[in-house]
Amino acid sequence: MQTSQRHTELPSNLYCPVRPANFPHTNIIYSNTAWAKRLKMQSVLNSNKNWENHFGRFQPFDGAQAEPLALCYHGHQFGVYNPDLGDGRGFLFAQCVDPVSGRLLDFGTKGSGQTPFSRSADGRLTLKGAVRELLATEMLDALGVNTSKTFAILETGESLTRHDEPSPTRSAVLTRLSHGHIRIGSFQRLVYLRDHTTLEALIRYALSVYYHDEDADQLSITEAAERLLLLVAENMAHLVASWLAAGFVHGVLNTDNFNISGESFDYGPWRFLSVMDPGFTAAYFDHQSRYCYGRQPEATFWALCRLADCFVPFLEVERLKTLVGRYHDVLETAVVTATCRRLGIDSEWDKASAMVAAFMAGLRSGQMGYDEACFDWYGGSARDAADKGKRKALYQASGFAEAADLLRSAPPAKESNLEADYFAKDDPVHLRIEKVEAIWAPIAAEDDWSELVASLRAIHDMAEAYAMRDEPAHGRLLDQSV
């Protein structure tokens, strides 16, 4: 394991050292053995006790920072600026270098205790919240979304009171693995404080660390800000396109929930579509549907513009408008590419764009399930499941006729794996809300984890069939391989 302390190279007013909570006990629930192996951590994580020491008691790794760091940031929450944010129930525990890609990776926590930013909150995480985040990251990773990975979950022996679920409820601490935790809100805070010196340092750091620009320190600040904004715009376009193709609704697209790396993370009230409904809203508290499925591109662009606002000290407003326009330049093609990937269809086909438009319109006209339609039509002309399967009558409706004609003639992608056992099944894997609740119910009632074990195995089977992730899927849930 190659540890790193890159974050401590930043000015110290971007973080503050904190202490983790002293939990009553720590019991390993889930360990991501695939990523532990990739990061060459087998020797330091060779027992449950070591997993618990590092990810429940947060004993530092050799060569890593000595203390966890709570990161400082502000943000717009549902359009309203809030300067009272920061890591309130999490921190940056450690950093390491991925030996495969050479990229820096953060171990960030959720539910690890109070920090100076907790305000009146307890800094804890419910076990249900941890299970939901595990399901979200595994499903999104399988569907090709650039997402954080759930690395470890430990139950912590506390009883928590929450207004949105039966209480008292069990507690947990989760560690996620991601390519950085610098947020749009990190930049916003520096503008709010008028700290342009640290803002410039953060721009250069982000460009160098997250986008591997070796010239970041030699560029003028104007050039560095331009490069960073363009790269973030492109990554955010690809990210939202992948959410749409996955049928995913993040739920809370505040500016403190956007990583500068363009990686999806921090899963609270997320949902997956049942049927194609642009107004489908994940968060019960999103009363105006600001972050509903169909408005995610708009919400993401709004957040990007708030990042551009932070660069006003270095760039003219008209130039910033041109730079953020890159998002729209990329988005349309990215949506077509991501949707074709989900459908196993060649995105270079000259009718790909028309097919995607017709497919989405056809889904809106009927009540066929989104996951089912993507599954039934996977491979386009190379597969006849949609015409012979149990849902064929849905696809014969007049509103779906144009989409059906195009899909029947669509060439399969070269990388499509139609011979996979997964595509011989009658139904696809899905994680709609009723499924998530069915997974959690036996855990809450009888400490029965069998539904979660089975669901993770099914997601991993789907991941192998789609072959969209860069690492084989496997982990350990309690004492069972998944």
Q: Which residues are catalytic?
A: 256
**Continuous segment of H or E residues that includes residue 372:** helix 370-376
Q: Which residues contact 75 (CB under 8 A, 6 or more apart)?
A: 81, 82, 85, 183, 184, 185, 188, 254, 255, 256, 257
Phi-psi region of 119 (alpha: psi -120 to 50; beta: other; left: phi over 0): left
Closest CA to 70 of 110, 27, 24: 110
- Could you tell me the sign of the dihedral formed by the alpha carbons of 347, 353, 355, 360, in that order? positive
CA 236 to CA 443: how far, in whole Å?
A: 36
CA 262 to CA 148: how far, in whole Å?
A: 10
Q: Are 344 and 412 in contact (CB under 8 A)?
A: yes
CA 115 to CA 117: how far, in whole Å?
A: 5
274-296 as b/e: b if 16+ CB within 10 A: bbbeeebbbbeebeeebbbbbbb
Q: Are 178 and 172 in contact (CB under 8 A)?
A: no
Instruction: Give me 5's structure tokens.
Output: 């302390």
Instruction: Give me 294's structure tokens.
Output: 């169909």
Phi-psi region of 103 (alpha: psi -120 to 50; beta: other; left: phi over 0): beta
Q: Are 224 and 207 in contact (CB under 8 A)?
A: yes
Q: How many CA atoms lie within 13 A of 271 on its CB side?
A: 22
CA 264 to CA 257: how far, in whole Å?
A: 8
Distances (CA, A) of 31 to 34, 99, 151, 187: 9, 20, 6, 33
Please report where in the chains the tokens 């408008």 appear, as a residue.
Answer: 321
CA 260 to CA 225: how far, in whole Å?
A: 13
DSSP code at position 381: G
